[in-house]
């Protein structure tokens, strides 16, 4: 290859590199956010499952178990997206620890109120993220999850109102 052509090739490579650098860091940021979401969904699923056991009525317990199942599906979808983006699932101990310890300190059915509050917090996180994220694929996923979260709010509210 002529030195001139080689120089030209190099400069294109440089241009591409500089073009993709911001993209790469944006992807890293997305993976970080989705990992945080993943951790919260897993923590919430675990807690709702556990707290369903304190409910003395089968039909209400089943309602909660279904919500926990959906949270796990959300976590699974987030995991898939993280992998698609080239990342790995790296559960955040912070998201687990803060929530599990504060919710476990609640007494009796107050645990369910704390679950409801945590679910609402996750919902609000998604809304904020949808406004910040540019990636249309990720936005679409978050939008799908948010639709379920809106139903969870009603279900959890109903269960809490019947018990507390």
Say which residue the tokens 């990720």 belong to.
138
Q: Are 118 and 137 spatial neighbours (Cβ–Cβ below 8 Å)? A: no
Binding of residue 152 to Fe ion (CB under 5 A): yes
- If the CB atoms of residues 36 and 71 are measured against Fe ion, the closer one turns out to be 71
Q: How far is the CB of 126 from Fe ion (least distance, A)?
A: 8
The span of 11-19, 96-104, 110-118, 142-150 binding Fe ion (CB under 5 A) equals 142-150
Number of residues binding to Fe ion, judged by CB under 5 A: 6
148 alpha-carbon distance from chain centroid: 12
Q: CA-CA distance, 111 to 23, in Å (whole number)?
A: 42
Q: CA-CA distance, 41 to 32, in Å (whole number)?
A: 14
Q: How far is the CB of 79 from Fe ion (least distance, A)?
A: 13
- If the CB atoms of residues 19 and 125 are measured against Fe ion, the closer one turns out to be 125
Q: Are 115 and 48 spatial neighbours (Cβ–Cβ below 8 Å)? A: yes
> Binding Fe ion by CB under 5 A: which of 55, 111, 119, 126?
119
Residues 25-54 that bind Fe ion (CB under 5 A): 41
Q: CA-CA distance, 47 to 89, in Å (whole number)?
A: 20
- Contacting positions for Fe ion (CB under 5 A): 41, 71, 74, 119, 149, 152
């Amino acid at each position: 290859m002529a030195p001139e052509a080689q120089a030209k090739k190099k400069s294109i490579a440089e241009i591409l590199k500089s073009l993709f650098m911001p993209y790469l860091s944006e992807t890293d940021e997305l993976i970080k956010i989705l990992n945080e979401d993943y951790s919260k969904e897993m923590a919430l699923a675990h807690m709702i499952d556990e707290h369903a056991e304190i409910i003395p009525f089968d039909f209400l317990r089943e309602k909660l178990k279904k919500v926990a199942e959906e949270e796990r599906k959300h976590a699974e979808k987030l995991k898939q997206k993280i992998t698609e983006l080239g990342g790995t699932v790296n559960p955040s101990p912070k998201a687990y620890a803060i929530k599990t310890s504060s919710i476990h300190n609640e007494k009796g059915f107050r645990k369910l109120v704390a679950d409801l509050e945590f679910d609402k917090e996750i919902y609000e996180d998604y809304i904020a993220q949808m406004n910040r994220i540019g990636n249309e694929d990720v936005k679409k996923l978050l939008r799908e999850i948010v639709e379920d979260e809106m139903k969870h709010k009603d279900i959890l509210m109903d269960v809490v109102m019947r018990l507390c």
